[in-house]
Structure 1
């Protein structure tokens, strides 16, 4: 017996559900204001008063009816004197912040100027006062911005700064030759760490014949002026649907290239042109392994077993540790359920839940000069969880072989 569906009724029901969802979000937001968790700063800007993200500000975007359309977080990127964010983006990537140029640009100097990276770094003697005398530490120097005089870090005598333009100009050739797109550029912590990322032209498709999940391929280039890091290029798969950074090691492919700040560094950076070719191979392997996970069914208990290996719990764990463990498991279970509704109960859904948890939910203790959101963004950019993501990826691949 066939069943007739009234499309008008179905559409009306769907529209009613959407309207109720908007109203529920509005009620939840107003409830947070009433409880004193957030407060209005003026206009559409609010400040968070409680929790890990205390002190962070955000903007609420509303439609013509006054309903909330989006909550735009401030990520803590450095501001210029005119109040604009020190970030260039070819599209409204970082939640609409930064200097937006539709369609991007192929001019490296334009990118550096728009992102606030058009400064140089020099080294000056490290001085200390001994009684009435000012002495020099012969084996140590300080890195300093030549435009503002701001100190960036303490370094050794042989340290040679890699200037922003020197480090990033090899990307100019890639932009013109391989049709890649300048995606974003910015500086953190007053210029101690700077970055540029480029988007490769071809998206990666996971399990193209089934779920056809889209992953956008990037190459991020980072320069450190504090003395605590290297100049490095990393391949960075990004999943737009949930903003997860899916960076982990895959078999027989290079994920990261780095060089120390020395006199010969610039010559070595020229070799970074190979990064594009290496990244293409990486993304081919990445798509193959992710497709294998997408075709591997997984039971909830198997998912819990993987979590137990990633975050082992001692038999004599304290109550606080047990509570944190339970909260983590609950969050991961909820994210796993959400993923399974879209891509099935597979190892791929399990991996998406784990990477999503690490990127967006796992607690971050920000430093004194950082918001939690900035600490989270920095951890993602610098790959703080890459090792844990790799461990999860490799463990889930074993289920395919079992």
Structure 2
């Protein structure tokens, strides 16, 4: 029989706990020292590097000031067992979600780990009038089958595109190109869901010069609220500055969407043709970006582009003038930073504009979203694609001949 010394066991356990706390503190301080995070308020920090740059989190400390837990402003849902509804092939800064290092090619596992393994049905819209429940003819609510939670109000022609139906068409690409599912998750209680894969071939801009890396992704978003469409986008992603850019390069197709109707699934199957153009798109994208990287521009030319993107009326009010000045100041600073890295070129100008739109431009969050989540959602959904394309076309006019 083995006899356990309770005092010794307690001492060993407390020693291990203290060592763990100290190690956590050292790791946290190390991230600050390396410039990966910075304090922006009382126990509130901002991420400065990586794809999640710009997101914030709060550190909860105990009475002794030691870190107890990190509270992320991620805006992701929780599953029934309390885990975060997120799958990823590499860990995010907040350490949340279900991580499979290197990713997986199994769609069933992705749907389960991300909390996407639920269906949506429509039920009649009902209301109560003078104690009597009535049916609102022709109106329905979308409802999750796992929780019964309402997602939105829709008409009688609305046919839900189920998560599996909408996402499994990408499985062919996963199998054909030996890629893995990159990320997947649930937002706004299931009203909005997303999934993405990373294409195998990275693209280089001006390989003999600045050699800037572009990582190609395909992202799919499904909306169950009745206020959005099923959307697929081919997305160039720049790891250095965490920017997404979906420029209208020549005739290449970079995005498409379909409404929730009875024939939607058949239309989704046609997406394979669109995705087949992705290789051609990235080749053309890299060629145009390389042309910009080899085009020197003056600061005044950069200002001219800014003024075209955000024109200022002659009778603009003081507040509008102040906002314009603040925007120009921010863009000038970003242009200088990019110019130090890639030269004072049209490419640096485009980087500055895209970085501003993705991470700095004011973004008003909805009632159920933090500013960080609103910014990330807008970036994923391409809210600023039009202005990015306009900037791209304008800067292409300056390229050297």
Cα distance change of structure 1 residues 340 and 73 upon mapping to structure 2, 3 Å threshold: farther
The Cα of 1:315 is off from its aligned counterpart by: 1.3
Cα distance change of structure 1 residues 202 and 24 upon mapping to structure 2, 3 Å threshold: closer
Please tell me whether residue 206 in structure 1 is matched to residue 205 in structure 2: yes
Please tell me whether residue 38 in structure 1 is matched to residue 37 in structure 2: no
Alpha-carbon contact 1:233-1:275 (below 8 Å) kept: no
TM value normalised by structure 2: 0.84
The Cα of 1:224 is off from its aligned counterpart by: 0.8
The Cα of 1:56 is off from its aligned counterpart by: 6.0
Residue of structure 1 equivalent to 2:97: 98
Residue of structure 1 equivalent to 2:111: 112
Alpha-carbon contact 1:351-1:392 (below 8 Å) kept: yes
The Cα of 1:273 is off from its aligned counterpart by: 1.6
Alpha-carbon contact 2:295-2:400 (below 8 Å) kept: no
Deviates more, 1:174-183 or 1:383-392: 174-183
The Cα of 1:184 is off from its aligned counterpart by: 0.5
- CA deviations 1:361-398 (Å, max 9, x no partner) are 11111111110000000100111000010110001001
Alpha-carbon contact 2:253-2:277 (below 8 Å) kept: yes
CA distance in 2, matches of 1:287, 1:27: 31
- CA deviations 1:322-343 (Å, max 9, x no partner) are 1111111111111100100010
Residue of structure 2 equivalent to 1:58: 58
Please tell me whether residue 349 in structure 1 is matched to residue 348 in structure 2: yes
Cα distance change of structure 1 residues 292 and 56 upon mapping to structure 2, 3 Å threshold: closer
CA distance in 2, matches of 1:277, 1:74: 36
Residue of structure 2 equivalent to 1:280: 279
CA distance in 2, matches of 1:23, 1:221: 37
- CA deviations 1:270-310 (Å, max 9, x no partner) are 11122321211211111111111111111000000100111
What secondary structure, in the 3-state scheme, does the structure 2 residue paired with 1:227 have? coil
Alpha-carbon contact 1:181-1:201 (below 8 Å) kept: no
- CA deviations 1:83-128 (Å, max 9, x no partner) are 4321111112565432110121111110000000000000000112
Gaps of 5+ in 2: 1-28, 47-54, 61-65
Residue of structure 1 equivalent to 2:372: 373
Gaps of 5+ in 1: 1-18, 40-45, 49-54, 61-65
Alpha-carbon contact 2:126-2:134 (below 8 Å) kept: yes
**Counterparts of residues 3-402 of structure 1 (less than 5 Å):** 29=39, 37-39=41-43, 46=44, 57-59=57-59, 74-93=73-92, 96-400=95-399
Alpha-carbon contact 1:75-1:377 (below 8 Å) kept: no
What secondary structure, in the 3-state scheme, does the structure 2 residue paired with 1:399 have? coil
CA distance in 1, matches of 2:126, 2:375: 35
Root mean square deviation of aligned Cα? 2.8
CA distance in 2, matches of 1:222, 1:185: 10
Alpha-carbon contact 1:56-1:371 (below 8 Å) kept: no
The Cα of 1:79 is off from its aligned counterpart by: 2.3
Cα distance change of structure 1 residues 254 and 26 upon mapping to structure 2, 3 Å threshold: closer
CA distance in 1, matches of 2:96, 2:362: 24
- CA deviations 1:44-88 (Å, max 9, x no partner) are xx489xxxxxx963359xxxxx9xxxx995321122344432111
Alpha-carbon contact 2:37-2:45 (below 8 Å) kept: no
CA distance in 1, matches of 2:320, 2:225: 35
Alpha-carbon contact 2:57-2:71 (below 8 Å) kept: no
- CA deviations 1:159-178 (Å, max 9, x no partner) are 11011011111111211111
What secondary structure, in the 3-state scheme, does the structure 2 residue paired with 1:169 have? helix
CA distance in 1, matches of 2:162, 2:120: 6
State the number of aligned residues.
Answer: 359
Cα distance change of structure 1 residues 109 and 351 upon mapping to structure 2, 3 Å threshold: same
Deviates more, 1:145-154 or 1:169-178: 169-178
CA distance in 2, matches of 1:240, 1:395: 24
Cα distance change of structure 1 residues 95 and 312 upon mapping to structure 2, 3 Å threshold: farther
TM value normalised by structure 1: 0.83
The Cα of 1:131 is off from its aligned counterpart by: 2.0
CA distance in 2, matches of 1:140, 1:312: 43
Cα distance change of structure 1 residues 162 and 94 upon mapping to structure 2, 3 Å threshold: farther
CA distance in 1, matches of 2:274, 2:208: 29
Alpha-carbon contact 2:294-2:400 (below 8 Å) kept: no
Alpha-carbon contact 1:310-1:388 (below 8 Å) kept: yes
Deviates more, 1:102-111 or 1:263-272: 263-272
CA distance in 2, matches of 1:344, 1:195: 36
